[in-house]
Structure 1
Amino acid sequence: MKRVTKLALLACVGLSVAAAPRPALADKISERLDALERENAALRARLNRLETSKDTSKETSKETFGETARTARHQPRPADSTSGTVLVPVPRSAGQDSMAADLGYVGARRASAPRFEISGTASFLQPGAGNLEYGTLTNPLPVVTPHWRNQSLKPNFTPSFSFGARYIGDESKDIQLNWTHLRNTATDSFFASPTEMVGPPYLIGPESALYKNGSGSVKTAFDVVNLDAGYTFCADCSFQMRAFGGVSAARISQNLSGLFASPGGDASSGYTVNSLFTGAGPRVGIKGQFGIGDFQFIGEMAGAVLIGSAQSGMDFTTLSPAFGLSSQSISSPNATRVVPSIDGKLASAYTFAPTAYGLFKVEAGYKAAVYFDAVNSYALTQVPTSLTLPPIGIYLATQQHLQSNFTNHGPYVTASWAFY
């Protein structure tokens, strides 16, 4: 009994001791929970502020970018600078239109660095000269009032090409080289009625009575190389003016021939005039262009004075049933000749959006050139009547050495690529 009583007393003492600190422990736990709740509330408030700030920043960035894009579309393209290291694509402007300026907004560092441009041109050019009348159709009846109708060759537009290379030192200074190549052949023929006759312009008397068929041809070869250095004024403006000067070299060749024969071909008379001019000299000009967005409208005019050598000659062939084929010729010594020239063009161009590889541009227009007194020919002014019909040759009394202008004109398309 005493043992049970002792155990009960010990249990009561233990419970009393255990129950004594519970209120203090509960207070400590409550305080800790309150502190954790305050920390959570502070973290939630901070997170809300961060999310609000992020949303506001996005809206501001969108508005700023939109305003910048709208402003850039109506502002001139920024000029070249010497800072920057990467390509920065920005909206195209309506102001810039030169090749240097077009490259200016691709990237600051590359825009200010020297660069190259290559170009190729496909054109349809029509050559011309003042000596293309090759034969005469004669109506001798009535004898007292004959009529003469000269026949002329008309060269057609023919494909030709040009190649160019350009070094752009900066947005204003450049050096360019161009080569244009043209080859053309034109032919024609005419026939006489039984009461008519044909012949060369210098032989339209009784000697050509048997000639009923006439034909002619002209072969033209033209090459010109232009090297010039230019300076573009107001390179970052809508309207630009490029003044340039350099040298030009040209080679102009012409072979004009006519052949006149009887219906059976047993009698004929023909000739060939050979002309060649090769020269070089100074060339100056000016080019203006106005840009509207990605389009440019271009006008260019240049003049040159070429000093070089002129060669000329004339060959004759006569076929006679009685004496066969005979050959004759007229030749002149090479002469130094001064040939002025003028060339110009009107065109429009479109510049495509630049890439990391460069800038592509297409230009289409019409160009023309004239070389004064570049073609040599002969006019036989007095040819006495042959004692033999049909004639066995040409009997020359007087002649004139003539010069004619050489021209070429036609549409063209140029594609150019500027790269770094």
Structure 2
Amino acid sequence: MKNIIIFDDNDVRKQLLPITYTRPITKIRVGITTIEEKWQALLGGGTYSYLTASYLKKKFPTTLRSQNLLVAGHVIPTPQLARQALALKSGEAIVDSEGQLIAFNGSAQDFDNHNYATTLAPVEPPTAIKHLWDIFALNGEVLRSDYERITAGRQSQPLPPSCTVIGDPGQIFIEKGASVEGACLNTKGGPIYIGENVEVMEGACVRGPFAACHDAKVRIGAKVYGATTLGPYCKIGGEVENTVMIGYSNKAHEGFLGDAVIGEWCNIGGGTTASNLKNDYSEIRLWNYATQRFDHTGLQFCGPIMGDHCKTGVNCMLNTATVLGVGVNVYGAGFPRNFVASFMEGGSTSGFKDVKMRPFLATAKRVMARHGIELTPDDCDMLEAIYKLAKKYK
């Protein structure tokens, strides 16, 4: 049985903070599935584990053997790339044109020492998540690829006659247990995937490419533009465009959210609206944890980036490309600053103060329990570690 380790490139991981504060890179959802799930689907059976930041290792441990297949967690695998990785002989590595490792077959010691007997170019230029905005910018491309893989040779559940379809109905796939009634589904821009037990309520208008993973909800009258992905148990209303919600997060009410990445266990209050375009149409700068400054992105459109456990109060306003760390609670009138460090609460009028960890953890426990998920001691240790890491930004 293959021992497969999905590793974090440390430089890339820093670029992807705050999303990677609470997970290895491979746990990020892009398209329909997480990157890890794509590797698992293409590499097949084996023992899977992670190589990530030290404070995450209790929650995401590493299994080492004398011979291991290590693959990069930020690379979106294709069937061709997966076959090349599986065919690697001991000591062989796949390295891209920028010198970044994609896969290696060998010992942990040789991996740590970059001791590769032979380096091979990838069979095709890889798609990779190297910046926060890649998550939403590449979402449409990856979603289409996931859709083809997941639905190949399978039969969709029938689409109820109460729905209106614009485009090819063959580009809509509905899993068992899903409820789609009285919705308008437009596939001209890409496919629409409705996962198990998803509910798309009456009056919702959805344009592909779009994916709603299991148990997600699209509420009455929602306006959803591609390329948007709802992770498991996510709930959306209002207007959403080109957004990735990793899982277990809610934007249930009116307000706009676009070109955004939302972590897990977030709640966006009713009426919250986030800008994704500057008034002067100039290039957007985004807070970068790796450089510890606001860096140029080359983008004209970028909405909020929220780490896990973030919340906004009713009628909040967020500036273009606002980055919220883990456990941030924003409320009150006016626009808060474009970067709020982890475990801070407040707003532009009241100012920000430290979140107290004991009540924060109690709230997180209640939120997670609603979905039958336990806040474990390892979760608490991880969040406490992130709290300490955040002090330098306050």
Q: Indicate the TM-score class for this superposition, using the shorter chain for normalisation.
A: under 0.3
**How does the TM-score come out when normalised to structure 1?**
0.18
**What TM-score comes out, normalization by structure 2 length?**
0.19
Query: Rg bigger for which structure?
Result: 1
Structure with greater contact order relative to length (CA < 8 Å, sep ≥ 6):
1
Q: Greater strand percent: which structure?
A: 1
